[in-house]
Each structure stands twice: as structure tokens, then as C-alpha cells.
Copies of this chain bind each other. A is one copy, B any other.
């Protein structure tokens, strides 16, 4: 087969707020080759990722992503890896290329899986897919009381694990302590409590460390992204100061090496990979294997649709010991309506990947229409994108 087309769909809720809620818009990718169609999703900033696909080239090492994809052969996983290498080389000076390529790469595994009648995790080399324990991923309440109520609701919904994140965390030490106590109270003694600081401390190790006592008292399992994604020295320093809390990070990694460095030089104990940024399933699988070899736990990062969720679970589906997974709850209607089928916890609260070819997620054409944002880009006297 050869890649015949790549269509990019910019979807958005009518109103987008400054909440750290990644389900407010989406860039959905549709790829066709032979008689097959594959679907993927790029994480964040649809317009910029569209531009990276269609832009005129600046020079040989700054070509649009389309140049390394359209018309290329797709007959097996090696062809996906070859395209990944081509994008990395031909678009090395185009920073956004990694995000654009990520959604395309997902769609290629989906398409290839459909062509072969096999789920993506099998194409990635796994013999079976193990169930995962989902944690409900939510934002902190604006008050500790609100966080308490969210935690109680999460338990009532059947989740044992939950992650609370972002503002107002970091605004004041006492406020953070109150939030941590409230989250633990709501989850109960046997709940698994995870905290996402949303990079609020930049590189300030002391500020991040000031929250450790309350975290250890509340038996927080991991402390996610206290720092900017590339602040390896800060991650390593904070890791030296924890007793029971594991430092987590990695969602910003836009290639395999960045994730490996966070493990080897940042000393994280949980590596969190967003398939919509790191270049898709291929490099994510490599990171999952690398993490296993280093005794570090691999976790998906997902805050969007079930299409992205299925994609993000495939790379570590076969690693039985890495059983916790991010499971977005409270997503916007766009993310919920984008797919016909949804991944839901079973009676025991466990998550199973769809037992279906590719990513096993059916995209709703109605949702593509309903939430579509028309985009037109003209450069010189040519319309280079209109959809």
C-alpha cells in the first residue's frame, strides 16, 4: 500500500477556557492507504500542527511533514519507522513537526492493524494485552472542599485511584496542604493518590520540596511535573529529597531520547508518555521497554478522547507489572462524542483495550462535523490548506 491521503480535522468546543483541560479542542488525523482508513489524534494546538504539515519548505532540513509521508509505502511496522526517521531528518528545524507526526503515526498503526486484522499492541510485538488499573484524572477544585467532593465522587464512581492537578496547586503552601489533606480524605485510606503540579515550580527545587512533608503524610504515590519538562537537574535534586513519594514526568517529551534522559539524568520513578507528542506508538513502545530495563514505571499521559486513550495504552499493553494508567474523566462533550465506542472500567474497575484491529476505536463522522472549525491558509497566491 501507499499513503494516499492525510486529512486533518480541527475540532473545538464553542468556548475554550484557560482551564488546563486538554479536551477542549482536538486535531484528528485520517489517513488512507489501499482500501483502509486509520485514525489518530495530535495533542494540542491544531492550527500550528496543521501549518507544520502544509507549510512551504524553508530548506532541505526544514521541510513540511507532508513531504515525508504522502505517497510513502506502508506495508509493515518498518515502513512506519522509516517515515519517522524521514520526518526527524527532513523536518529537523521544524519544531512543531513532532506533534504533527504523532497523530499521523497513530493513524498508521490503526490502518496497518485494520489491514492485518490485528490490534496495534500485537503489531508492536506484544503477545497479549494486560488489563490496567485506571486512575481518574481530574483538576483540583478551586477550594479544598471542592477537591474533597471530587474525590468522594471518584470513589463513588468506582475508581480506587485518582490524580488531582494544576491550579490552584502551587499558589500557597497552606493552600496546597489543605488540598492534599482534602484529596486524601475524599479518596479514603485505601485510595491511590497522585498529584500533578503542572510545572508550577519552574526549576525551584526548594518550593517543590516544601510540599513533600504533606505529600508523604498523605501517602501520595507520585508527584508529577513539579518542574519544566527539560529541567533534569531539578528533577534529580527533588528525587534526592523524597522518601516515599516518586517523582513523575515526561509528558512534554517530543522524542524518545528526552524521555530516556528524564529517567537516566532526572531520576524519575514514573515516566509519563503522551503518544500525541512523542512521535506516536513506536517511540512510546521503545520508552516503555527502556523504562522496564531501568526499573521505572511507564504510564500513559492522556487528557483527550478515547481515540488518544486507546493509542496511549497500546505501547505498554504487554507490560504486566506497569498496571496503572491515566483515564480522563470529566472530558468535554467533544472528546466524549468523537468516538462511538468508549473504554470503560469493568466490574472489577479494570480497563481493557478494545479487542479489535488497529486502535479499535470508531470515530463519529457526526462529531467531526459538529465540532469542526473551518481553517483556510493562503501563502502567496495559493491556498495551501482549506477544510
**A residues apposed to B, CB below 8 Å:** 10, 12, 16-22, 24-25, 43-48, 50-52, 55-63, 85, 88-89, 92-96, 98-99, 166-167, 198-199, 202, 228-233, 252, 254-255, 257-258, 260-261, 265, 277, 373-381
Hey, which chain B residues are within 8 Å of A95, CB to CB?
45, 48, 95-96, 98-99, 254, 277
Main secondary structure of the interface of A (DSSP, over half): loop
Q: Which of B48, B61, B89 contacts A96 (CB 8 A)?
A: B48
Q: For the complex formed by this chain, how many copies does it contain in all?
A: 2
Q: Which of B59, B88, B199, B258 contacts A89 (CB 8 A)?
A: B199
With A59-B24, A258-B230 known to touch, is A379 a contact of B19 (CB < 8 Å)?
A: no
With A85-B202, A377-B377 known to touch, is A59 a contact of B94 (CB < 8 Å)?
A: no
> Which residue of the partner chain B has the closest CB to A260?
B233
* A55 contacts B47, C-beta separation under 8 Å: yes
Give complex CA distance A43, B95 in Å.
10
* A59 contacts B380, C-beta separation under 8 Å: no
* B252 contacts A92, C-beta separation under 8 Å: yes
Hey, which chain B residues are within 8 Å of A92, CB to CB?
199, 228-229, 252
Hey, which chain B residues are within 8 Å of A258, CB to CB?
230
With A198-B61, A199-B89 known to touch, is A47 a contact of B228 (CB < 8 Å)?
A: no
* A56 contacts B377, C-beta separation under 8 Å: no
CB distance from A253 to the nearest CB of B (A): 9
CB distance from A350 to the nearest CB of B (A): 29
* B43 contacts A93, C-beta separation under 8 Å: yes
Q: Which of B20, B57, B88, B229 contacts A16 (CB 8 A)?
A: B57
